[in-house]
Structure 1
């Protein structure tokens, strides 16, 4: 029968109304041939004097958190799909440093593989040094501050060159396309446009899907003294210490989510880069030592025989071994003789970036690290004589941090792990970190970044919390467990920091870092996402289920480009829990938590028959509940509920099997949750 649409809609409405009535209204007289439909239980229990609440369980627990279905590129359970793709770029770089002019110059050949389904008629590259030009977008965004003592008004930010006036920016001398036909290689100048920190290069004929292209670029730049706290120069009596990063033209990412990712580098947010191999030659004055991402291939050319023997000793030692001792720095015998310059050759494979540091005043020490596979990469430190005492344990800290995380999550993939002490307070690169001083906290944090985002290659420019927050979280475990916990400083209770995490003036975690007030970066990129994962591990899933799910995420997305949805979906699939209520409250929105203990009454007025305890959810967030119940005799017991008690309730009452009167009921007794109002957390019996 062909049903008229209007008639069909009418019948559907009538049927649904009848079903609803049958489910909710007991029939006056039930036919003998049908069972009686009864309402379950009696009237809902309600405790009088319910407070006003902002909690809306429909909003918190509603479905449709994910805005699109999984597909063949990214699966619904959070793993890469069968047709997932990403592009690749390999770099061959020959660079030179002029330590008098502070100039780095170079020539690079990029081999770019287009694994996308699209033909690409142009590519985008980063020219990060243009941030430090006086007219850059980043410099023009630096806010004004007012000195509270002097009243002076001036621009201030961590994310620029501190107003240094110099010949800043990348100088692009040439861009060419290398092509080979009939065994003959030709180099053709390419048309390009530079806009702020980005360069667009046009490709006649385009790069077909599955095709490759080679570019040759010659460039130079003057290093800033202070490079957005990610690079720079220390000028001291011992000589200059260079930390060199964002130093070569590098490819932007073209992916299945955004196409070309070209949000300009303004200093606030970090980087999103393709994976590939790096082959790097760095020519520096012979008196200088160079440390870099990857493996040094020509140690015999740049170290003395004595130092080579010490390297061999360090490769077998759990204890730190000096390669260049403090009293040997500046001694002519500590450097190979006969040349004014030396070229250092490094290779790092399957990496998203490479950086380096150089100084004539470097003390070098090293020790081996033990990986689960049996590999033994080296932990290395480079620091000046004057800072030797402050950095004496930096190699030890690097070793134990990396060993812990390799065993816990995913094996460290690089041949060396180098701490280079200089201008930057703390900054991470594959296989090398820049620090201002080598304490446990900064070394553990910066090397933690070798998991996020060096191995798990998320988009830092859009989602800084996926590397800073995840790394801050794994730091909590490495600090607690590595080196027998000697670096622990106090507990991790939320307590008074709850308001800092959820105060109304904060933006949500799921914000572009460039869209955050700079003062909020520490909270929204680092501590709040980390605190969320701590809660997820300790209060919601438990360590075993969380650790398995988190490790699954790392393994699935190693050397790939995950999105927030890929993380959320993987954690849900691998743990077996729908966590959309949690993502919605802590990451997507800036909701607060406020649970109060409203009342205690007794069954039939007799405490020996049981106690009825009522709690209320007064703010927008839902979380599990822990209550500590203390009776008049001093006995204490804890009762736990999962967050699902809030799935269809704004208040919750339950019977506690008491045998005597209750003295007090305390919500969240250990302050593990970010409750915004501690004044209603405790109910106390009236005296």
Structure 2
């Protein structure tokens, strides 16, 4: 008869062994045959491309504004030519009024606080709204609902090419901080001005009107069109704006104009307004003390601008494929100058434009601008706002990342407010390779690992993020993410997922061909997550649904384990187990007697029929060591069970 304590010990051992043996992996769930919620249709094809009858509406803007630096108030009139290309008659219109997010009673303030209590900003003041559907203007029937304006139409705008004009007289007080703002510098204030006019919401084939409120984290979703804008500023204020300056002869000084023209063909940075020039006016004399700056930008979703008396200004030509070029320019205060800081900003911008254009899609606009000012890092078409304090690595990181957003989501126009990972993650991904390529890796590797310990290895750094209690999936609504989770998930995890695809799951050639196809097919259009998944599957020739589901839609974890090595047979066997829900390829290194090493890359399909897999080979020698993922490329949450040794 066994002693009771021995029976208890055996029972505990058996329970523990059962617990350790239990796997969370479900191969049917991982490789589910019913992944997509929709098939292809005339608007969006089954292979992820726009369909033969894909449509999207367009909005052209004409803006005339005046900004008074002494009061921080902008007043303007915007006229919008809106075209309804949809198959539906539209009996209502929706517009974005993002500055209303600064109001003390806004939904964003209720969620996370507002700058309004500190700086007095109170959103847009709408003085008048008119519409024109025929030959005459009439007052619109409109409501302000949070960060949106709702216009109710008496006569619907016709489908498939129907047009309507909207004219809005408005003003607002510029907030001191946020995605735009202002600051003092040694030689005067710097103003960075964004979402500074009412903008059309997107009406699309997926959800109709996209009217999610601006709450602070979720960014923007906008249609494309041509924007012609004029801003009246006091003389002496140098303006940097998205697009092309149409009246340089009327605004710039003679010396600035000469250097500006020189920079357009120069491979070396040309100083247009230097430190010593700050003692002189940055502009020509204006009418009644005011100078009118006229810019245009074609086929864009937005424009932004900055102005200051304190700007130094330099520029250099960026050389693009097919003999094209664009002007890379930087505006910054004297506090930012120097060879280790903003003195290199235009060089950083030039190479970033060239690298992204060579690899993914040619930059389409006549200029690209960095502005050194109060905003830490924010992107708009053709212009970025980066911290004036940034230098060396941090400055390159900011410049390359923010201008990279011109590809995702400015050219490939995803819905940032709903799918933040499709702009932040994709852009962070292309940044990784820009860091590697710039100046032979001077600022490589790109580091996102400050968000988790890991010694510089992203496979290690991601583990605390995906294993933390309450960890959310990447595909969460942007404003639903906790602030501390936004960067780890939408930037880092999303980008690392694409790195896993390119470096481990696919070949470089497979990935690059498909990713380039996605970028070109959806340039100036509105792809959804499913469009991306489908086009990557179609053009890599792989069904990657298991990856999309586990990495982006869910927060599945990976734990591969070597549970047995059998040297007894002629054909040696290594049995591997998948303990967690995420399948991945198996990266296996085998060391034989005598020290010979063999490396194997086993496809993810080895997990299609169960949670264990036995690898067999006639080595001719006994195995003395077997190791999973020896280079630590995969995000395995338990590496202690990755090695077997004799």
Matching residue within 632, 652, 661 for 2:622: 661
Q: Which one has the largest radius of gyration?
A: 1
Residue 172 (structure 1) aligns with = 126
Structure 1 residue ranges, 4+ long, deviating more than 3 angstroms after superposition: 489-493, 501-504
Secondary structure at 1:122 match in 2: strand
1:605-616 correspondence runs (5 A): 609-616=570-577
The answer on 1:192 being equivalent to 2:142 is yes
Q: Structure 1 length normalisation: TM-score?
A: 0.87
Residue 450 (structure 2) aligns with = none
Residue 489 (structure 1) aligns with = 445
Offset of residue 50 of structure 1: 8.4
Secondary structure at 1:619 match in 2: coil
Q: Is the 8 A contact 2:237 2:308 kept in 1?
A: yes
The answer on 1:582 being equivalent to 2:530 is no
The answer on 1:261 being equivalent to 2:210 is yes
The answer on 1:290 being equivalent to 2:246 is no
Matching residue within 111, 116, 130 for 1:141: 111
Secondary structure at 1:673 match in 2: coil
Matching residue within 197, 211, 220 for 2:171: 220
Residue 359 (structure 2) aligns with = 408
Note the residue ranges of structure 2 that are not aligned, 5 or more in a row.
Answer: 1-17, 447-455
Structure 2 CA distance for aligned equivalents of residues 501 and 345 of structure 1: 49
Structure 2 CA distance for aligned equivalents of residues 217 and 162 of structure 1: 24
Structure 1 CA distance for aligned equivalents of residues 345 and 541 of structure 2: 40
Structure 1 CA distance for aligned equivalents of residues 299 and 363 of structure 2: 12
The answer on 1:564 being equivalent to 2:529 is yes
Offset of residue 203 of structure 1: 1.7
- Cα 1:602/1:91, change in 2 over 3 Å: same
Matching residue within 312, 331, 340 for 1:363: 312
Structure 2 CA distance for aligned equivalents of residues 87 and 483 of structure 1: 42
The answer on 1:449 being equivalent to 2:399 is no
Secondary structure at 1:141 match in 2: helix
Secondary structure at 1:452 match in 2: helix
Residue 564 (structure 2) aligns with = 599
Q: Is the 8 A contact 2:586 2:601 kept in 1?
A: yes
1:95-114 correspondence runs (5 A): 95-114=65-84
Offset of residue 423 of structure 1: 1.2
- Cα 1:641/1:50, change in 2 over 3 Å: farther
The answer on 1:337 being equivalent to 2:302 is no
Q: Structure 2 length normalisation: TM-score?
A: 0.92
Structure 1 CA distance for aligned equivalents of residues 70 and 403 of structure 2: 31
Matching residue within 63, 68, 87 for 1:93: 63
C-alpha offsets along residues 550-596 of structure 1, whole Å, 9 cap, x if unaligned?
00001110000000000000000111111111111101110000001
Residue 11 (structure 1) aligns with = none
Size of the alignment, in residue pairs? 611
Structure 2 CA distance for aligned equivalents of residues 592 and 306 of structure 1: 60
Residue 3 (structure 2) aligns with = none
- Cα 1:643/1:162, change in 2 over 3 Å: farther
- Cα 1:560/1:211, change in 2 over 3 Å: same
Structure 2 CA distance for aligned equivalents of residues 162 and 680 of structure 1: 54
Q: Is the 8 A contact 1:499 1:674 kept in 2?
A: no
Structure 2 CA distance for aligned equivalents of residues 485 and 496 of structure 1: 21
Structure 1 CA distance for aligned equivalents of residues 184 and 107 of structure 2: 28
Note the residue ranges of structure 1 that are not aligned, 5 or more in a row.
Answer: 1-47, 143-154
Structure 2 CA distance for aligned equivalents of residues 514 and 573 of structure 1: 31
Q: Is the 8 A contact 1:168 1:223 kept in 2?
A: no
Offset of residue 122 of structure 1: 1.1
Structure 2 CA distance for aligned equivalents of residues 346 and 114 of structure 1: 26
C-alpha offsets along residues 84-107 of structure 1, whole Å, 9 cap, x if unaligned?
110000000001110000011111
Offset of residue 254 of structure 1: 0.3
